[in-house]
Structure 1
Amino acid sequence: MAAFLPRAAASAQAGERARLLRAVAEGRAASRKEMSDLFGIRSSTVSELVGDLVAAGLLAETPVRSGGRGRPAQLLVANPNRLAAVVFRIASQSVQAAIVNLAGQAVAAERADVPVGCDNQQMAETFQELAGRLQGLVPRHADLAGLSFSLSGVVDAASQRWLFSSRWPRLRSLDIGEAVRATNLPVAVARNLDVELRARLARSEDRAGGTLLLHWGYGIGASFAIDGIPINGGEGRFGEIGHCRVSAAAAAPCRCGRTGCLETLASLWALQPVLAERWPMLDIDETALARQVGAIDLLSLPAMDRAVDQVVVALANLCRILFPRRVVISGPFVANPQVWAEFHRRFQAEGLLTAVASPDLQADQRSSELELEGAAAPLLTAAMARLLSR
């Protein structure tokens, strides 16, 4: 719950309510007396503020008997289901939607597989259908803060338009707000790697300098932040590294309509036929695949070995432009220890420039969890601020 508390309060009293709520959510206080002792606030003031939070449904008080005489103590517990947001995210060739509460938990989820030939109308209908299903699954007494869309490809977040995704080449400039207007709910739109990176940095103690996130999976893309702030803003165009042309000789057709893109040599959608020929049981879903590849000799496939080389060179070139302090690689391929060790070795051998140290390289598989949290944050934080200000 603490992750969705607003950083700035509309009033001093709202700020005090947020401070007390954070203490309970973080486990630093569980009673009115503990709050009074922790913050040095008069018990009458604490009682008033706690009463406000209980009335708002953000805190609940439950009696705890100690076995002695007298009135039982009241234990304060944060209510993570007071607010929720529906988050839509893209996973391989499907749209997944989840109800995310104030604990960052997905309390209900639905998905729809979407064929490659999907156009604007079909995608809009998919969003509408998933939104309708999930609105009936919102926890009792929870307010729905809105619908958040965490999208792949090229996004214009300011105008809430999904401009392009190579997963669905016929999709062009889909107006997300218009597609779900019938819900009468607030809508937030962002690029998936930006919300994931924002959530990662919110959990990190060291955000100084540049942080580059490279996702190597069904598609290939990047996001970059300076001192904890993603540079993409509302444009949603930075980081489409998967559609950089890597070789005129490697002129395989890409789903973006061009030829020779990095994704044609190294993405999961391009490698999947080769992987399936050797290991038919492998899943196309990134999360499932990450669990499957741990003990598989992926590098025995020449195509996979070439893919590692191509992604290493692409990352090194990006680092020569941005010079990040740290790089996080996410996606199913780096869940394979052999691939990750070889990727790390080749990246260090590639180097950047003379006398320039290579960035710290990390592999992480928490992208789905963090994407949900990062996508829900704008809506839940705004709704929380409104509750605290009442």
Structure 2
Amino acid sequence: MVAAVSSWRADDGPGRAVELITSGRARTRTALAEALGLARSTLGQRLQPLLASGLVLESEELVSSGGRPSRALRLNPRAGVVISIDVGEERTRVAITDLDAAILAERVLTLRLDDGPEELLETISTAARQALQESDLLGVPVAGIGLGLPAAVDFRAGRVSGWSIMSGWDGFDIRGHLRRTWQVPVLVDNDVNVQTVAEHHRFWPQVSHLFYVKIGTGVGSGMVIDGCVNRGAQGVAGDIGHAHVGGHGDPQCRCGNRGCLESLVGGWALARDLRGDSHPQMHDARDVARQAKLGEVDAVTRLRAAGRILGEAVAFSANLLNPDVIVLGGLLSASGDHLMAGVLESIYQRSLPLTTRKLRIVPTGYRSRSGIAGATYLVRDHVLDPARLDRLLGAGLGPFAVDEN
């Protein structure tokens, strides 16, 4: 099997076949042979390890391509499961998903981020094991672990990088710690990047330039440029929440600076301001969203004003990046049209006409759990990478073996 890998070119190996099947560009052996430029006998050699591993299925469904109908090839979403983790400031979700991001089991935990990485990761691992056991999935291969964190993350190293609300996590070897328990690929990223991946995969796969803005307890953004998430040199690209926005006072931000966007429009900041307006029941972003949904006048007014301020920062980003689509997500974006109305007002007022000519500004397509979906897609993109699959299968290993990740 190892010798065979030398005969696999980068554009015709099993990994490329999986890419074509998964994308829907080739759904039959005939279509695959044409796309790869291979004889059917050679194609059979490429498919053999994929069918043997269960990663690809040849179903009874017949697909017509103008000639004799052929049996359909498809990715097997149950070939493996993914442990998908979305760590939030208020709650953490631990889910077991299939390769299509369908949730098979889930746990919702209330964790203290300042308890430190070892205790929190051990709790998460325990919850994942329980979810696998109780859903009778212990015998299914774990394809990998995807983890989204509310912090700047060095994606290549799998570590929190620099200041964040996650005290004690800076530089901690998250990947190494999890691998003591789980001998699988581990992908770690900033939570907003993870949600950006989910939006792009699920709703906008044909779009090359997307800007995602999350407004909840905090504020963040993610960028898809030329079809790929742009994380920047240190993993902090898109940290729009700590950009200074002038003209609205300079309230203290959690990061230690003053006048950050988050200190003006973040859920914690809106709750702070509303408490100051004689609303003692306002403690966090959920309280703000709840009252806005109920039509409470002060909450609606604050949220609409927050939208206009947020729109100023988003307009600058739109002029800079020229995206096809701007997606607004997060807890406060789901509290009605008030935030979106303010954002639209500022963007069209402050952006160049050419920037907005074909620009689409939309709310997220997810009602919840975009972080879970994005964590799954991170793992799926990694394990289905064509070069990686060719390397592992050529060495006689399974598609979910640990590699250099």
Q: TM-score range by the shorter chain?
A: 0.7 to 0.9
Asked if structure 2 preserves the Cα contact closer than 8 Å seen for 1:152 and 1:165, the reply is no
Asked if structure 2 preserves the Cα contact closer than 8 Å seen for 1:154 and 1:236, the reply is yes
Query: Cα–Cα, structure 1 residues 167 and 18, in superposed 2: closer, same or farther, change >3 Å?
Result: same
- TM-score of the aligned structures, taking structure 2 as reference length: 0.71
1: CA distance, partners of 2:18 / 2:304: 51
2: CA distance, partners of 1:282 / 1:101: 33
Alignment of 1:1-390 (within 5 A): 12=12, 14=14, 18=18, 22=21, 35=29, 52-58=49-55, 79-115=76-112, 117-134=114-131, 136=133, 139-164=137-162, 166-169=164-167, 171-183=169-181, 184-203=183-202, 204=204, 206-208=206-208, 210-233=209-232, 235-247=234-246, 250-272=249-271, 274=274, 277=279, 284=286, 295-297=293-295, 300-301=298-299, 302-353=301-352, 357=356, 359-366=359-366, 367-368=370-371, 370-382=373-385, 389=394, 390=396
Asked if structure 1 preserves the Cα contact closer than 8 Å seen for 2:85 and 2:93, the reply is yes
Query: Cα–Cα, structure 1 residues 121 and 341, in superposed 2: closer, same or farther, change >3 Å?
Result: closer
Corresponding residue for residue 4 of structure 1? none
Shift of 1:80: 2.0
Query: Cα–Cα, structure 1 residues 278 and 364, in superposed 2: closer, same or farther, change >3 Å?
Result: farther
- Structure 1 residues 265-317: Cα deviation after superposition (integer angstroms, max 9, x where no partner): 2112333464995888998499xx6xx67853266424323322221112122
Asked if structure 2 preserves the Cα contact closer than 8 Å seen for 1:225 and 1:231, the reply is yes
Name the SS for the 2:157 alignment partner: coil
2: CA distance, partners of 1:147 / 1:235: 22
Name the SS for the 1:214 alignment partner: strand
Shift of 1:138: 7.1
2: CA distance, partners of 1:63 / 1:230: 37
Give the residue type in structure 1 aligned to 2:151.
G
Give the unaligned 5+ runs of structure 1: 1-7, 65-73
2: CA distance, partners of 1:9 / 1:93: 48
Name the SS for the 2:346 alignment partner: helix
Give the residue type in structure 2 aligned to 1:162.
V
| Structure 1 range deviating more: 350-359 or 187-196 | 350-359
Asked if structure 2 preserves the Cα contact closer than 8 Å seen for 1:294 and 1:335, the reply is no
Matched residues, number = 364
Shift of 1:164: 4.8
| Structure 1 range deviating more: 180-189 or 129-138 | 129-138
Using the aligned pairs only, state the percent identity: 21
Corresponding residue for residue 69 of structure 1? none
Query: Cα–Cα, structure 1 residues 93 and 170, in superposed 2: closer, same or farther, change >3 Å?
Result: farther
- Structure 1 residues 75-103: Cα deviation after superposition (integer angstroms, max 9, x where no partner): 98864222222222223422322222222
- TM-score of the aligned structures, taking structure 1 as reference length: 0.73
Give the residue type in structure 2 aligned to 1:296.
L
Name the SS for the 1:180 alignment partner: helix
Asked if structure 1 preserves the Cα contact closer than 8 Å seen for 2:58 and 2:74, the reply is yes
Corresponding residue for residue 5 of structure 1? none
2: CA distance, partners of 1:77 / 1:353: 44
